């Protein structure tokens, strides 16, 4: 999932639009996401001097498992992409920055401390691989509570059948146990 940024390196403020539609490669961790559709990434990348700013949207469909009925269901992912990519090239001939005309990257930026590199995302050369950040944006956008539908009735706690598909004869005590205890008190 690479974007060619060589034409963006020369002038501060240069911006280009990119449209990608790709799968996540196994190296990035595709086994953690079961894609139903390729990941569509719409990106604007801007030369901000010290870094390239990438902003856009991510759309795809993935498979999740319902926490109530345990069935797989399709989930539409629509999320945002925001990342700044810093050039990591250390030039030998005293050239600075991603831009020759507008050198903005100072020398001290090239001495990357461990703390800074933990937060910043770097690139080198004429391409940026946005895939790791696309992947983590998708992961962060996933719902905490995964249900196939708000109306999902789940599995019967007694016999285990899927109550969306079938009925069973089990007693379904709808009452919260704490409420049931209270009701007992009132009925005395």
Cβ 161 to Zn ion, closest distance in Å?
6
**Binding residue for Zn ion (CB under 5 A) from 142, 168, 175, 179?**
168
> Any contact of residue 64 with Zn ion (CB under 5 A)?
no
Cβ 145 to Zn ion, closest distance in Å?
11
Cβ 66 to Zn ion, closest distance in Å?
3
**Which 3 state secondary structure label does DSSP give 128?**
strand
> Any contact of residue 173 with Zn ion (CB under 5 A)?
no
Radius of gyration of the chain (CA): 25
> Any contact of residue 170 with Zn ion (CB under 5 A)?
yes
Cβ-proximal residues to 30 (8 Å cutoff; 6+ apart), any chain: 23, 24
Beta bridge partners of 41: 20, 58
**Binding residue for Zn ion (CB under 5 A) from 23, 68, 96, 120?**
68
> Any contact of residue 158 with Zn ion (CB under 5 A)?
yes
CB 130 within 8 A of CB 40: no
> Any contact of residue 152 with Zn ion (CB under 5 A)?
yes
> Any contact of residue 156 with Zn ion (CB under 5 A)?
yes
**% helix, strand, coil for the chain, step of 5:** 20, 30, 45
Rank residues 170 and 179 by Cβ distance to Zn ion and give the closer one.
170
Helix H segments across 41-187?
A: 107-110, 114-119, 131-141, 177-187
Which residues contribute to the site for Zn ion (CB under 5 A)? 66, 68-69, 148, 152, 156, 158-159, 168, 170
């Amino acid at each position: 999932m690479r974007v060619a940024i060589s034409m963006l390196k020369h002038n501060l403020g240069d911006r280009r639009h990119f449209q990608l539609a790709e799968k996540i490669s196994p190296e990035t961790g595709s086994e953690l996401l079961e894609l139903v559709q390729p990941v569509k990434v719409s990106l604007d990348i801007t030369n901000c001097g010290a870094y390239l700013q990438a902003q856009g949207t991510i759309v795809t469909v993935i498979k999740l498992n319902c926490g109530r009925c345990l069935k797989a269901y399709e989930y539409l992912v629509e999320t945002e992409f925001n990342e700044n990519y810093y050039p990591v090239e250390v030039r030998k001939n005293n050239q600075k920055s991603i831009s020759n005309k507008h050198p903005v990257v100072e020398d001290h930026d090239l001495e990357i401390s461990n703390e800074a590199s933990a937060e910043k995302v770097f690139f080198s050369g004429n391409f940026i691989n946005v895939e790791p950040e696309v992947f983590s944006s998708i992961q962060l956008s996933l719902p905490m509570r995964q249900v196939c539908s708000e109306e999902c009735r789940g599995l019967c706690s007694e016999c285990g059948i899927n109550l969306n598909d079938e009925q069973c004869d089990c007693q379904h005590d709808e009452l919260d146990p704490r409420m049931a205890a209270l009701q007992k008190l009132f009925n005395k």
